[in-house]
Amino acid sequence: MAHKISKIIGKCPVCDENMHITELKCSHCQTTIRGKFEQDKFSRLSSDQLKFVEVFIRSRGNIKEVEREMGISYPTVRNKLDEVIAALGYRVEDSPDDEKAEKRKEILDSLEQGEIDSGKAVELLKNI
């Protein structure tokens, strides 16, 4: 009977801290090595975050392409990217230009979806 091999989880399901690998075993000769081994940073990502990273890399970082392929808006792409950056252990910093671009994109998305008219969009864009 074959044993099912599970995916390594990077975060503890109880306290959300990083997990450590304590045993490695060769499936061919059964050699076992015990110790405390660090996982790579990408092991910390959830399956949704890994899928986002795959799409982001495949589209060469083109946010428009990520939006199209995943069916999400610019602000959602930015939020997902920030989540991945934080999960990898890096600090996420907002720049004023990023915030303005995000607000512009939100206004244009609202206009495109018919939530606001062109007059309202122009007024909102002028106030950014």
The ranges assigned to domains in the chain are: 1-40, 44-126
* The two structure tokens encoding residue 119: 């007059």
pLDDT tens column, 100-116: 888 888 898 899 899 99
Classify domain 44-126 at the CATH topology level.
Arc Repressor Mutant, subunit A (1.10.10)
Q: Find the helix or strand (DSSP H, E) in which 52 lies.
A: helix 47-58
> Percent of the chain at pLDDT above 90?
44
pLDDT at 29 (0 to 100): 95
Question: Can you give the pTM of this predicted structure?
Answer: 0.56
pLDDT of 1 above 60: no
Picking from 94, 45, 102, 44, the residue whose alpha carbon sits closest to that of residue 77 is 102
pLDDT tens column, 34-69: 999 888 888 888 889 999 999 999 999 999 999 999
